[in-house]
Structure 1
């Protein structure tokens, strides 16, 4: 038993990790998923409802732990990538995923570059926003282009540390009311806030990058079922860290905005508003301090997407072309990987200058609303299928949890789908 447990910590080609090295791909997926938009969502929740929805934000973190664990367990136990799993679920998955990854990449590229540029433009107003956006995209592309995962992981860890200091620091200076924080752990939904509550629980830190976890596991060298226990530790610790970010932003919203009757924008501009409030309340340094954290959260998302989703695209295209799993074109640093980095970086620059065409935005919104239900339901199928070794399939309680999560995302997806197509009927 002792030998079995030691073997669980490593594949034969990798030495046992030092205790700190156990944390790796989970931190990457969590840092990538918690972007500026997610920080704004929890900030606005705190500003509108105080601590009332704190429980929903924490539930959101637990949901992501369950989903990412499922994606990681599938990869380690089956030996197949998530896209290979989707293909086993039927050809319809390719029909959905092919347009999704192309349209999503085009629009997300522009949005991520703009989000990263906002705090830089606030710090250096003499420079045009689009200049910062373009430089951010190009810099992210250069950093991930050569595909050195270990270096990439170190860079992400640096940005997580920067986010931790700034975001948690902003919460600490507001002197949170611990009694009110505890009451926020009691599940309750304010009048008229059902959809907002569901969105907070299901939307924070949730994108296509959740499905990229398996690819980062492979790049890390965690490739067999013996790594499942380590993967679970990695995933849980990483999302606990992301939960600290989420709770910190809700604290800031509750203490700094809700208690003062102040409001902020719903988009990334809300973080600029917050930086201004922090500057007025605690001095200019605090404003600059928080803007650096805003930039770190946005740029870490650029790096994570440019790396992880490019890996997914390389696997997707290589799989469709029938290339072997070890074909370099399907791996990090390969031709298909770099092709998607270019797609994320260059074409979206046109949207920065031309504005976002309504048709593209509608398609992006519609497909985006369907992705999380797609991920949850396909994982529910795959983790119970004959393609999964019996000893690693879902237990009844994991099926119950994943089933509830799938139902939540279907409800949210329908709501978001209605919002996405509404502009087509508004004129």
Structure 2
């Protein structure tokens, strides 16, 4: 690494951070992240864990929520401080050119296609419980409607839609859980770490690995922070090989740089609070589903498979609240799954567009043709060189058309989601390691992860590495643990 590359990387300027009640307007990225993270994992796995174990592993849930808060905050840190997306940072890592971009990009394309298809299949199955029509009609409708929302509106419209969904989801699932809540004393027992006699790692691994967001969801927080312009607009450097032009200022005007870093510290606090909003909201939804599993399914001795979770929960809650309880929980499940599709269809294409622009470099921004000469290929390349156009291209292809093809070929949501789950499990420790290295080597010392965040990132990386290895061995090789 050259001396220039070793210098800290700070955005060239930053506006005044919000303060007081105005900060509430900046929590949209946290709510978007929350609604993207509580889809299939919460709906499918958490009630099953609650049914089999009650609250015995509540302590593990809280630890993973802490890990997730630190992970998304550290991804957001890089964007706030540098004005770049997280993939822009990965591009600058030492080694072969763009190796980290390829490592993220190709597997995530596979994960995006199968995850959208699988969750849409779950939505279709859930709606079939109470409405006329078949699974295919509902699955196709939710994919098409959410893609229209993402393509037709910029970030602000998607943020508003998912924020409303997040609020409704918390209220609905929370109200259902409160109705059957057993009391603080019973739940408090789950806060003490321990492993019971019925410990089944194969049963618990999918739940532990997919509590809240997977690897892609962690990166999306960087993109939503960038889209909301925390710390200022994104300073687009996709394809650039030269270091940022602010490094000279960093050496020559320390007073100016210190004022800028003070503002960035305050932006970091706003972003950190936004991350807390996301993980606390998502955590409340997951705990609510655990309560429903423990209080409704466990007394009946039911540990349902796949979408049968939704069927059994809605049936049992209707015995407590009547028809209102049935519809309340059904709406909650549909919002959890449908909202996840909307957020996923916004998050993945942002990542893919960024990766493509980095990998393509100047090839998508060619020099203008000679005067009077019109080259259609150059026009098309310049159109794709626009970040929003590239994002919409990926919305149509990778999270709309291809998922529809996969859905009609496979149909079974559990089989479809298994592939995406393996990619998420393997990629999460990769994201943790790359991000921690990036923040420790590229950022100014006073804007780097603190004394507590660093060991938590290391522990989370080790934890998800263990989950990934065990999950991969079980799913791919049938290893019996």
Q: TM-score, normalised by structure 1?
A: 0.88
Could you say if the C-alpha distance between residues 389 and 324 of structure 1 is closer, same or farther in structure 2, counting changes exceeding 3 Å? farther
Counterpart for residue 6 of structure 1: none
Q: 1:36-185, aligned counterparts within 5 Å? A: 36-89=40-93, 90=95, 91-124=98-131, 126-185=132-191
How has the CA–CA distance of structure 1 residues 218 and 364 changed in structure 2, closer, same or farther, with 3 Å as cutoff? closer
2:30 paired with 1:22 = no
Cα distance in 1 between the residues matched to 2:326 and 2:296? 13
CA contact (8 A) 1:56 1:197 kept: no
Contact 1:163 1:297 in 2 (8 A): yes
Judge which range, 159-168 or 400-409, deviates more.
159-168
| Greater radius of gyration (CA) | 2
Equivalent residues of 1:71, 1:379 under 8 A apart:
yes
Q: Distance in 1 between matches of 2:416 and 2:321?
A: 42
Give how far 1:212 is off.
Answer: 0.8
The structural deviation recorded for 1:268 is 3.3
**Deviations 1:111-153 (Å, cap 9, x if unpaired)?**
12112222222121x3011000001000000001034211211
Contact 2:43/2:309 (8 A) holds in 1: no
Corresponding residue for 2:239? none
Q: SS in structure 2 opposite 1:211? A: helix
State the match for 2:316 in structure 1. 277
State the 1:194 CA deviation: 4.5
Match of 1:228 among 258, 268, 271: 268
Q: Distance in 1 between matches of 2:458 and 2:269?
A: 23
How many equivalent residue pairs? 412
Q: Confirm or deny: 8 A CA contact 1:57 1:200 kept in the other structure.
A: no
Whether the 8 Å CA contact 2:52–2:303 is kept in 1: the answer is: no
Q: Which residue of 2 aligns with 1:267?
A: 306
CA contact (8 A) 2:220 2:347 kept: yes
Which of 227, 241, 248 is residue 281 of structure 2 equivalent to?
A: 241
Q: Deviations over 1:83-129 (max 9, x none)?
A: 122222344323322321221122112112112222222121x3011
Quote the offset at 1:356 in angstroms.
6.5
Superposition deviation, residue 329 in structure 1? 5.0
Question: Over the residues paired in the alignment, what is the CA RMSD in angstroms?
Answer: 2.8
After superposition, what is the alpha-carbon deviation per residue over 1:9-59, rounded to whole angstroms, capped at 9, x for unaligned?
Answer: x94288767142132201111111111332332211111111111111122
Task: Give unmatched runs, 5+ long, in structure 2.
Answer: 1-12, 233-263, 366-381
More divergent stretch after superposition (195-204 vs 114-123): 195-204
Cα gap change, 1:328 to 1:150, in 2 (>3 Å): farther
Distance in 1 between the 2:284 and 2:14 partners? 32
Residues of 1 paired with 2:363 and 2:25: CA distance?
Answer: 30
Secondary structure of 1:123 counterpart? coil
Structure 1 residues 359 and 412 mapped into 2: Cα distance closer, same or farther (>3 Å)? same
Asked whether 1:413 is paired with 2:468, we answer yes
Shift of 1:202: 4.2
Distance 1:129 1:406, change over 3 A: same
Give the unaligned 5+ runs of structure 1: 1-9
Shift, 1:275, TM fit: 0.9
Match status 1:215 vs 2:269: no
TM-score, length-normalised on structure 2? 0.79
Tell me the equivalent position of 2:374: none
After superposition, give the CA deviation of every residue in 1:266-285 in whole Å (9 maximum; x if it has no partner): 42331222112212343222
Aligned 8 A contact 2:121 2:411 in 1: no
Residues 1:202 and 1:110: Cα distance change in structure 2 (over 3 Å): closer
Q: 1:383 aligns with which of 435, 439, 444?
A: 439
Give me the whole-angstrom Cα distance separating, in 2, the residues matched to 1:280 and 1:264: 18
Q: Is the 8 A contact 2:105 2:352 kept in 1?
A: no
What is the distance in 1 between the residues matched to 2:24 and 2:106?
Answer: 39
* 1:279-334 Cα shifts (integer Å, max 9, x gaps): 234322211111000000011101111111111111110111115999985776x2
Q: CA 1:64–1:281 in structure 2 vs 1: closer, same or farther (change >3 Å)?
A: same
Structure 1 counterpart of 2:242: none
Match status 1:315 vs 2:354: yes
Query: Contact 1:36 / 1:294 at 8 angstroms: preserved in 2?
Result: no
- Seen in structure 2, the aligned counterparts of structure 1 residues 169 and 330 have a Cα distance that, compared at 3 Å, is farther
2:449 corresponds to which residue?
394
Is the counterpart of residue 299 in structure 1 residue 313 in structure 2? no
Partner residue, 1:7: none
Q: Secondary structure at the match of 2:231?
A: coil
Task: Give the drift of 1:364.
Answer: 4.4
Quick one: structure 1 residues 146 and 61, their matched pair in 2 at CA, closer, same or farther if it must change by over 3 Å? same
